[in-house]
Amino acid sequence: MFRSKVVVTLRKSILDPQGKAVQHGMHSLGYDGVKNVRIGKFVELEIDAANKEAAETITREVSEKLLANPVMEDFSFTTEEEAR
């Protein structure tokens, strides 16, 4: 069994109004040192696969086809084998 952790974020060229709203809220609370906020998604997958490479392939395909919008978003992931 493998666990993949996927992080999906808007591309740097895409405006992030939700991130700007959170940044404004932080400044309202006195956290003026926060200069930029970007909001994304975190997805955790448990994958039953023969090996790590197969689990990574599944994670990449699912991320490309379902989790991330390739026009607006980028993704990165890590995959680790679960202790049995």
23-40 confidence digits (pLDDT tens): 999 999 999 999 999 999
Which pLDDT value is given to residue 63?
97
Q: What are phi and psi of 78, to 5 degrees?
A: -125, 150
Listed as ranges, residues in the chain with pLDDT below 50 are none
Which pLDDT value is given to residue 83?
79
Q: Which two tokens stand for residue 74?
A: 């980028």
**Can you tell me the distance from the alpha carbon of 61 to that of 6, in angstroms, rounded to the nearest whole number?**
12
pTM for this structure? 0.85
**Which fold would CATH assign to domain 2-81?**
Mth169; Chain: A , (3.30.1280)
> What is the residue extent of each domain of the chain?
2-81
Which pLDDT value is given to residue 21?
97
